[in-house]
Amino acid sequence: MSFFSSSNVATAKTLLSTAASVVATAMVIRSVASELLPCDLHSYLAAILRRFSSQVTIIIQEFDGLTANQIYSAAETYLGTKIPPHTPRLKVTKPDGDQTLALAMERDESLTDVFNGANLTWLLVCRHVESSSSSASRSFHNPRDVTSTLKSEVRSLELTFHKKHKAMVLETYLPFILNQAKEVKHRTKAPKIFTMDYQNMYGNLNDAWVGVKLEHPATFETVAMERHVRDFVLRDLDRFLGRREYYRKVGRAWKRGYLLYGPPGTGKSSFIAAMANYLRFDVYDLELTELQCNSELRRLLISIANRSILVVEDIDCTLDFHHRTGTSTGSTSTSTYNDRQVTLSGLLNFVDGLWSSCGDERIIVFTTNHKDKLDPALLRPGRMDVHIHMPYCTPYGFRQLASNYLRIKEHYLFPQIEEAIHETQVTPAEVAEQLLKSSNIETSLDQLLHFLKMKKESQQQGKELNGGDKGEEAVKENSNDEKKSPTELTNSR
């Protein structure tokens, strides 16, 4: 018997007709119920029906009153990384301060995420609220919309999942989203550099610093430094970032101190910029000479954000700490003078004292041209954990600069230049300046070689006038790296 017999066709038509009638009736009933039933009764009936459903829905509003909902913001950022490539409609934004484009869900768009084996469905719901003469409508205000007194859009995310996963979602999934969104924002944001705003220091703590985007191009691949020093610093930074729980377990503040010392022009500032670009940390440039007392210093330091680098440049020249230790010895006038100064103890109290715990994941960097002038209290482990010597230019540093500026790895003039660099005290900044003078490789290297020969003659004449060979000793300083401790690093010549 043929499957498409007249009886089977009639049965199929009957079933389709019945199904269509049922669907149409259901839609009519739903429409009538929505329009005729009171809102309270409608909500009551919907709540009864939800009791028999195995699904649970969590509503996450964009705002909690007048305050932004952090869970909504985090979920929006997290879901932007989960949008599948085959999605027909995409919303693209570029938040201020970010370096990359961000994808976001469009209204009424749904997305399914899988976490610990559970299917979790997200839906972006948007509802327009029109203004009216009623006091309830006039009281509504949306902080993200300056025209919210006329018309506002209320946005929310609905998260639907099986009810057996409720505990997992609340205790694990949502905290996971908060952490993931934090990491995404950290990776995409452009670092900033902040300087103190003395006029607003005693107002809101958030106004104590003023920042601009840090657009310094330095990276650890372009800084003229020895490879073993660079590799150690990268390993040290990576290890520091991953040891939050370890620092808490051993009872230490989650921070790391670096001392950069060496002659001017040896790349200390570029090193800090490379560190900021690598970590995506903001930089806070602290100028101690602008402060009047320890309380001002403390107020500034507690307003520094986490995941940041605090920089005090030329600390040996910033303050004469040896005469401002804040001791009570001496006359009353001396005590009054010390009370109005930033003291060494005040700075150390933040570096590793009680106030050092007021923040997490911080890097503290001191720079100096003369390490021997610093108080030994500043140099011990726990305050400055890593000491990095930034010396005069080395042959390896020159090759790095030649690669950066001339895009070459080898040249027949390299041996002569490297020999001259080994016999001359020349900074990476001076070498870089010579390489910038011409775009022609041959001309640039010839000029550099001539500059090095002239500088060598000048230094030899200076040594003869001084009657000593201190310059030669300085060139050979710290040439044996194997004798250094793991936290005392030098770029050997």
Burial (0-12, 13-18, 19+ Cβ within 10 Å), 485? exposed
Best CATH choice for the domain 194-391+484-490 from the list 3.40.50.300, 3.40.50.170, 2.40.37.10, 3.20.10.10:
3.40.50.300
- Give the residue carrying structure tokens 């903001």: 282
Looking at residue 329, what is its pLDDT? 41
Task: Please give the pLDDT value at position 136.
Answer: 45
d(CA 355, CA 321): 20
Say what the pLDDT of residue 276 is. Answer: 94
- Asked if 102 and 193 touch (Cβ cutoff 8 Å), the reply is no
Strand partners, 389: 261, 490
* Separation between Cα atoms, residue 258 and residue 272, nearest integer Å: 10
Cβ atoms of residues 267 and 224 within 8 Å: yes
What is the C-alpha separation between 173 and 116, in angstroms, rounded? 9
User: What does the block give as tokens for 396?
Assistant: 């390896």
Report helix angle 227-241 to 268-279, nearest 10. Answer: 40
Contact 224, 428 (CB under 8 A): yes
Do residues 121 and 75 touch, judged by C-beta distance below 8 A? no
Please report the pLDDT score of residue 289 as a whole number: 81
* Pick from 236, 278, 277, 289: nearest CA to 258: 236
Q: What's residue 39's pLDDT?
A: 63
Kindly report whether the global pTM for this prediction surpasses the value 0.85: no
Residue 297: closest CA among 360, 352, 363, 348:
348
Give the per-residue pLDDT at 487. Answer: 64
3-state helix, strand, coil in the chain (%, to 5): 50, 20, 35
Which secondary structure element, helix H or strand E, spans residue 257, and what is its range? strand 255-261
pLDDT tens, N- to C-terminus, the chain (493 residues): 454 556 665 676 677 777 667 666 766 666 666 666 666 665 666 666 566 678 888 898 988 888 888 999 898 889 888 888 777 777 887 777 676 777 788 888 888 889 988 999 999 888 877 655 444 444 445 555 544 444 467 888 999 998 888 899 999 999 999 999 888 888 888 889 999 887 777 767 677 898 898 888 999 999 988 999 999 999 999 999 888 888 888 888 888 999 999 999 999 999 999 999 999 999 999 988 888 888 888 888 888 888 999 999 988 877 555 444 444 444 444 444 445 577 777 788 777 767 666 778 889 999 999 898 888 888 888 888 999 999 999 999 999 999 999 999 999 999 999 999 999 999 999 999 999 999 899 999 999 999 999 998 888 887 777 765 444 443 334 334 333 443 666 665 5
Give the DSSP H or E segment for 339: helix 332-339
Strands (E), 169-224: 192-196, 209-213
Contacts 24+ apart (CB under 8 A), 58-66: 58/158, 58/159, 58/160, 58/169, 59/156, 59/157, 59/158, 60/156, 60/157, 60/158, 60/159, 61/154, 61/155, 61/156, 62/144, 62/154, 62/155, 62/156, 63/142, 63/143, 63/144, 66/141, 66/143
User: Which residue ranges make up each domain of the chain?
Assistant: 12-52, 55-188, 194-391+484-490, 395-476
